[in-house]
Amino acid sequence: KKKLKISGRELASVPEQVFGLDQLQVLEMSPERESCLMYRMELLPREISRLKNLTLLYMDSNNLKKIPAEIGTLRHLERLTLSNNHLSSLPPEMGALQRLRSLHLANNSLTELPAPLCQLRSLTFLDVSDNKIGTIPSSIRHLEKLETLLLLFNSLESLPEDVCLLRNLHTLWLGNNHLRSLPASFGELVNLDWGYNYCSCNFEGNPLESPPPAVCSRGPGEIRKYFLSFHRA
């Protein structure tokens, strides 16, 4: 059996028999979004390392407080969902998940973007919305394949210039932070094209002054012009 979904209102642990399914590729232990349920699992057992062939692991809406270091042994993992838990940190071993393309961490208790994430060179989707993240490390520039970055409802007061090196970004949501300004090179993110997709970038709920919201709403071209004229002045 290569796909397994475990469900139940009282789900609090992973049945031991699961770790004997060494050919398992998809393991889902998240309630359906429409159900508004929360499971009660507090711990992902270290035995998860026995599932060497896992490509998809869904652990949303549990009660997880910690992820074991053994997660780093799942070298085939491509998608990991950990949203709606109680995580305040991630193990450095996560940096070994070099096939990981999609990582969901929304609505946890993270206060910073963990350094191991910036080692995930294959990552194309990263959602860290609704945490308490206050800074973005400059090492984020290493995520050169990143296409979607969701940072809504955090505590960001500034963005590093390194974010502007993520030239493959198509979606960047920055709403409801504390941003007063954008980096001068922000307009170089030309794939954030408001003309084709208004939702490709979101600034709502920030006290932006430079550029002002009216300029931001017109897209990267106008943002680039704004900084050029500001520099000349």
Give CATH for domain 1-79.
Answer: 3.80.10.10
Question: In CATH terms, are 1-79 and 110-232 the same topology?
Answer: yes
pLDDT value of position 198:
59
Residue 41 contacts by C-beta under 8 Å, 6 or more apart in sequence?
Answer: 11, 12, 13, 14, 29, 59, 62, 63, 64
Residue 144 contacts by C-beta under 8 Å, 6 or more apart in sequence?
Answer: 121, 165, 166, 167, 168
Local confidence pLDDT in tens for the 233 residues of the chain: 699 998 877 788 888 899 999 999 999 998 876 566 777 889 899 999 999 999 999 999 999 999 999 999 999 999 999 999 999 999 999 999 999 999 999 999 999 998 889 999 999 999 999 999 999 999 999 999 999 999 999 999 999 999 999 999 999 999 999 999 999 899 889 888 776 665 788 888 999 999 998 888 888 888 888 988 866 65
pLDDT value of position 36:
64
CB contact at 8 A, 123 and 140: no
Q: For the domain made up of 110-232, give the CATH fold.
A: 3.80.10
Report the amino acid identity of residue 230. F
Where along the chain do its domains lie? 1-79, 110-232
Measuring CA to CA, how many Å separate 1 from each of 7, 23, 24, 27, 56?
17, 7, 6, 11, 14
pLDDT value of position 176:
95
pTM of the full structure? 0.91
Q: Which burial class, exposed, middle or buried, applies to 45 when counting CB atoms under 10 A from its CB (0-12, 13-18, 19+)? A: middle
